[in-house]
Amino acid sequence: MRLIASAIAMMLLVSQNTAQAQGKNTAERLGYPRDSKLLIIHADDLAVAHSEDAASFDALDKRAATSASIMVPCPWLTEVAEYAKAHPDADLGLHLTLTSEWKTYRWGPVASKHQVPSLLDSSGYLWPDSDPAKQHIKADEAEREIRAQMEKAISMGIHPTHIDSHMGVLFSRPDLFAAYVRVAHDFKLPFLAVRTADAPPALLSLLSDKDVVLDSIVMASPDVKPADWKSFYLNAIKNLKPGVTEFIVHLGYDDAELQAVTVDHPDYGSAWRQRDYDVITSPEFKKALEDNHIILIRWADIKKLLS
């Protein structure tokens, strides 16, 4: 899963010359002092597996995670929909999905396959990595699929608070990013993008005055050794700058189910997800947030700014 190298680079799309950088910043628009350190703790990949769901629900219930996003094409979507209906205040977005990365555990599109043929590999599943997806996917078919994912989630009683992109595919080309922004605007949702100073004018033109961009994201990479997992996150909290940051975590229990799903895939695999869960639910993590005066927020808070 080449998420770190490709997706984060492609997320850095939004210049500081947007309307939200003028006048009040996002913290002030949310009612906080201008120099506040705001943090979203965001759990990716709900609906991939029961283990993923159970760990993420527990973190949400404990307020260890403030937000999460759902992969609509995945098999455990019904479980997530039931949680969403039972927890209407839960901050649940959609992790718009155009890839299916695991070795023996695959999924296809929500739209009919004949409507989105460029999204499919030779086995009829979504592309297994972001590089072939970027090479083959047609933007109009990608937009058709992500709209189908939106509509399916809503039909199941899920009311998304935001959208982002699984493995960064929708950040990988300007035409795919344009489809992503159009869908967000049409459904009146905030979307994940991160501030940079040198975004192309063509991308900036896609943004509205109300769009909110984040100042930074933090996510563990394969370079972080398991023994250093907690210190990685604690140092990230200590070094947090004013603005809006998102910690992207992948939660799960290191059990037989998730081990089977992520077989031969140590990066973002079962043990990785257990480590993320263990850290964000730990007393040390909570204390670090308090000691560093971090204010936890949700995408639902940002969504209110679009009204």
| CATH code linked to domain 3-304 | 3.20.20.370
CA distance 62 to 85: 18
> In the chain, what is the greatest distance between 2 CA atoms, to the nearest angstrom?
54
Question: Cα-atom radius of gyration of the chain, to the nearest Å?
Answer: 18
pLDDT at 198: 65
pTM of the model: 0.93
Any idea where the domains of the chain sit in the sequence?
A: 3-304
pLDDT at res. 228: 98
At residue 13, the pLDDT reads: 55
302 CA to centre of own chain:
15
Q: CA 294, CA 223: separation in Å to the nearest integer?
A: 26
Backbone angles phi, psi at 73, to 5 degrees: -70, -10
Q: End-to-end CA distance of the chain: give it in Å, rounded.
A: 36
pLDDT at position 170 is 96
**Looking at the chain, how many residues does it have?**
307
| Residue 98 CB partners (closer than 8 Å, separation 6+) | 119, 126, 127, 133, 137, 142, 145, 146, 165, 166, 167, 169, 170
Q: Rounded distance, CA 52 to CA 277, Å?
A: 10
Q: Distance from CA of residue 104 to its chain's centroid? A: 23
**pLDDT, position 255:** 98
pLDDT, position 283: 98
Three-state secondary structure string covering 31-84: CCCCCCEEEEEEEEEECCCHHHHHHHHHHHHCCCCCEEEECCCCCCHHHHHHHH
Nearest partner of 66 among 270, 209, 305, 244, judged by Cα: 244
Using DSSP, state whether 241 is helix, strand or coil: coil
* DSSP-derived pairing of the beta strands 243-249 and 37-46: parallel
What are the pLDDT tens digits along the chain (307 aa)? 444 334 444 455 555 444 444 589 999 999 999 999 999 999 999 999 999 999 999 999 999 999 999 999 999 999 999 999 999 999 999 999 999 999 999 999 999 999 999 999 999 999 999 999 999 999 999 999 999 999 999 999 999 999 999 999 999 999 999 999 999 999 999 999 987 766 666 677 788 888 999 999 999 999 999 999 999 999 999 999 999 999 999 999 999 999 999 999 999 999 999 999 999 999 999 999 999 999 999 999 999 999 8
Q: How far apart are CA 154 and CA 96, in angstroms?
A: 14
pLDDT of 244 reads: 97
